[in-house]
Amino acid sequence: MLDPALLRGQLATVADRLATRGYTLDVAAIESLESERKAVQSATQELQNLRNTRSKAIGIAKGKGEDASALMAEVAAIAGQLSDNEQRLAEVQQRLGAIALQLPNLPDLEVPHGADEAGNVEQHRWGEPRVFDFPVKDHVELGARKGWLDAETAAKLSGARFTLLRGELARLHRALAQFMLDLHGGEHGYVETNVPLLVNAEAMQGTGQLPKFEDDLFATAVGDSRRYLIPTAEVPLTNTVRDGILDAAELPLRMTAHSMCFRAEAGSGGRDMRGMIRQHQFEKVELVSIVKPAESAAEHERMTRCAEVVLEKLGLPYRRMLLCTGDMGFAAARTYDLEVWLPSQQTYREISSCSNCTDFQARRMLARWRNPDGGKTELVHTLNGSGVAVGRALIAVVENYQNADGSIEVPEVLHPYMGGLARIA
């Protein structure tokens, strides 16, 4: 959520910066509501002062033995007016709050302007795409040989955009997740965390999924209790600091989790329907950092580098992209995407997205830290990133390490997780 002071004092600037994201801010509606809010508050203060004055006059009159009934009637009328004003003010603030919840984060001033992914800027590349001397198969063809990748049975069980993995391919998928957790927990300093897959609406609102993206979420209802299946472990991990105050010594707080993720993918019909590229259910190893505001820019670089190390240890060519204003996620102020090389598509595809959300989520969650310099509480900064998407890592490994006979070499770093197996034959 944006700072209310910005909406009150720098509305035109906010509108201009949001416009670079393709978001049109209804300035007139906000100005009208703000004008009404100020008028009601001013009238309320006048009535409160008048009530105080008349209440004192009642005490004086009674002390003199005079009739105070007229004054008492006036105070009663003022109380009724104050009640009406409080209701009006609550309604106006609720409408302003509803607008604020729909507003995306302001892009960092250094983020390039652009309408969509065409405006993203490449930062660097690592690794050279392999040159094959045989026709390249995609992950669906490679996985179908022994029924390792079975979309047909998954569709019978659950419908479209689900996949069933078997045998050595399922083991490779598990190995990738274990490798990532060990790397981030053992070498990168993230605390491994096992998170709930079902969360309440407050958690979804805290990280920005609600109310704007409810159509993209799966939800459950048991009696009067409604919970949401998480679209990413970012939601429970980040919300662990909701409504709390952290000591300076606890920061930076770094957490990682391997979890199932669930997305309805509303509005993405026809895109990447083949195979495991875009699924309703998938797995990710997530990275979340809670930091002091002055440290979030450096933490963003660090987090992105941790995700890059995963791809480098797997020997997968990738490139880092700085997303433009029109391609960033709702809560992000600045985002790097890592895109891995897929031989079957002859292009780079997203496998990790690392974002600095500054104080946007913290304000929604009321997540704070106590600054020892003065002892005041301030909002923390939150960051999240994929470290990395397990399914897409599986796709990249299968395609980049394929052989002419359809067998797949296992990256050396995964051998310990595969019981020493060096090839899926």
Domain boundaries, the chain: 26-102, 117-424
DSSP 8-state code for residue 214:
G
More confident of the two residues 330 and 46 = 330
278 given a catalytic annotation: yes
pTM above 0.75, yes or no: yes
268 has a pLDDT exceeding 80: no
104 has a pLDDT exceeding 90: yes
Rounded to whole angstroms, how far apart are CA atoms 248 and 373? 10
392 given a catalytic annotation: yes
185 has a pLDDT exceeding 70: yes
Do the annotations mark residue 319 as ligand-binding?
A: no
Tell me, what's the pLDDT at 265?
Answer: 81
Average pLDDT over residues 238-242: 98
Q: Which amino acid, one-letter code, is at 270? A: G
Average pLDDT over residues 346-356: 98
Summarised one tens digit per residue, pLDDT across range 23-53 is 999 999 999 999 999 999 999 999 999 989 9
Please name the residues in contact with 121: beta carbons below 8 A apart, sequence gap of 6 or more: 112, 321, 322, 324
Tell me, what's the pLDDT at 65?
Answer: 87
Rounded to whole angstroms, how far apart are CA atoms 423 and 411? 9
Sign of the dihedral defined by the CA atoms of residues 216, 220, 226, 232, in that order: negative
Tell me, what's the pLDDT at 269?
Answer: 58
Q: Which fold has domain 117-424?
A: BirA Bifunctional Protein; domain 2 (3.30.930)
423 has a pLDDT exceeding 80: yes
Nearest alpha-carbon partner for 177 in 404, 2, 391, 390? 390
Tell me, what's the pLDDT at 62?
Answer: 87
Percentage with pLDDT > 70 across the chain: 98
Sign of the dihedral defined by the CA atoms of residues 263, 326, 334, 187, in that order: positive
Summarised one tens digit per residue, pLDDT across range 108-154 is 999 999 999 999 999 999 999 999 999 999 999 999 988 999 999 99
17, 263, 334, 364: the active-site residue: 263
**Residue appearing with tokens 């960051």:** 383
266 has a pLDDT exceeding 70: no
353 given a catalytic annotation: yes
Average pLDDT over residues 331-345: 98
214, 295, 312, 350: the active-site residue: 350
130, 278, 319, 349: the active-site residue: 278
289, 353, 368, 399: the active-site residue: 353
Do the annotations mark residue 242 as ligand-binding?
A: no
Average pLDDT over residues 223-238: 97
Structure tokens at 111: 């983020």
Do the annotations mark residue 152 as ligand-binding?
A: no
Do the annotations mark residue 145 as ligand-binding?
A: no
Tell me, what's the pLDDT at 61?
Answer: 87
Average pLDDT over residues 352-371: 98
Tell me, what's the pLDDT at 54?
Answer: 87
172 has a pLDDT exceeding 90: yes
User: Is the CATH number of domain 26-102 1.10.287.40?
Assistant: yes
Tell me, what's the pLDDT at 131?
Answer: 97
Do the annotations mark residue 351 as ligand-binding?
A: yes
Do the annotations mark residue 192 as ligand-binding?
A: no
Q: CB of 303 within 8 A of CB of 288?
A: no
Lowest mean pLDDT among 67-71, 206-210, 226-230, 333-337: 67-71
Kindly report the average pLDDT of the chain as a whole number: 95
Summarised one tens digit per residue, pLDDT across range 276-313 is 999 999 999 999 999 999 999 999 999 999 999 999 99
DSSP calls for 135-190: PPP-HHHHHHTTTSEEHHHHHHHH-SS--EE-HHHHHHHHHHHHHHHHHHHHTS-P
Alpha carbon of 44 to those of 33, 38, 128, 167: distances in Å? 16, 10, 68, 70
Residue count (the chain) = 425
Phi, psi dihedrals of residue 68, rounded to the nearest 5°: -110, 15
Do the annotations mark residue 232 as ligand-binding?
A: yes
